[in-house]
Structure 1
């Protein structure tokens, strides 16, 4: 009997560690993304301030490298967040919890969100946003798209500079 109690405590401890680590990964994801966004913006400002200068192309290449690194850092951060969410899912299942958080199936998650929206009584554009919300747009994917947008921007600016299309 004591062994089962000890096992349950350790499973809850494991769950707490996984939850804390997952939350830390999300916090780090946003800190890193903000860092790269600010760095890209600063490099872009320098690029446009140096119009016609010999350093402009160098700044463009630096901006491209920064944007590519940003994309990979975003993807890497999402990898670890997903890993810890999976550990939370498996730990919840092993604990046989009645209130599932990470081990809920998609139907239950979707119903929770629908119920939440149903009680909000939104109209107009908020109603449109509620419909988009039910499509579950990924916040981390949007940040990945932003980093890809910067990659495309830098490639375009570098190409224009090389071809002298300014």
Structure 2
């Protein structure tokens, strides 16, 4: 069984002997840190953070491969003649639904991986002051007003990944609706003998797609920039301690 309870800063410091290190450093050399839980905890958090980042991109590559294969299957069905494949629209809806599910799973996996990565980053934030100093918390940024196109910017790669996953989900939803709409037009006979109305409808859909893509990219750019403040406010962190016990 696992019981959760909130931790306070003093309790967190007690677990890793942070206060004790601060007191010892007043009268002892800095090498004393090597024999304390603090440095071991810092190194462990650093290693697990690197491990989580590695897992993040391995999971992403896994979903990229699956989704690319599903896209290939969809367009293979789309180019198949209806005389060779009966109920073609049904298979298209089925394959695109599978693609939507896997894309949503990719989005959830990306969010979950980011959560655990941030967990260990916050541990490093709280542990590093007495080990290396605020190395992780200080961000150095080269600012050159002359370079407007080639200069770097603090975009969040993981957020971009999540937005791309959301965009792929939107594409799958569109691909699901495409064969359904086609069948409805066949049933109702809409645009059957009017090529001009059909062309106008296609142009309207294309304009909506282009406009939607533009606003999506613009929103993604604004949402994925990391806000680096010179004097940021303190982070509000919810700390939970898990207790694992054997059942009696």
TM-score (norm 2): 0.53
Partner Cα distance (1:6, 1:71) in 2: 41
Deviation at 1:101, TM superposition (A): 2.2
Select the residue among 165, 168, 179 that pairs with 1:161: 179
Provide runs of 4+ in structure 1 moved above 4 Å.
none
How many residue pairs get aligned? The number is 146
Consecutive unaligned residues of structure 2, counting only runs of 5 or more, are 1-19, 25-31, 83-87, 184-201, 203-248
Q: Which has the higher helix share?
A: 1
1:90·1:103 contact (CA, 8 Å) conserved in 2?
no
Give CA-to-partner distance per residue, 1:93-115, whole Å, 9 cap, x none: 3x1634x32233xxxx1xx221x
Matched, 1:27 2:54: yes
Give secondary structure in 2 for the equivalent of 1:101: coil
Matched, 1:72 2:72: no
Q: Judging changes above 3 Å, is the alpha-carbon distance between structure 1 residues 96 and 18 closer, same or farther for their aligned structure 2 residues? A: closer
Q: Judging changes above 3 Å, is the alpha-carbon distance between structure 1 residues 31 and 96 closer, same or farther for their aligned structure 2 residues? A: closer
Give CA-to-partner distance per residue, 1:4-53, whole Å, 9 cap, x none: 53785321111111001111111111111111111111101101101253
Q: Which has the higher strand share?
A: 2
Select the residue among 91, 96, 99 that pairs with 1:55: 91
Q: How does 1:129-144 map to 2 (within 5 A)?
A: 129-130=150-151, 133-134=152-153, 136-144=154-162
Whose radius of gyration is greater, 1 or 2? 2
Give secondary structure in 1 for the equivalent of 2:177: helix
Partner Cα distance (1:9, 1:145) in 2: 42
Give CA-to-partner distance per residue, 1:62-121, whole Å, 9 cap, x none: 00000111001001111111110000010013x1634x32233xxxx1xx221xx66xxx
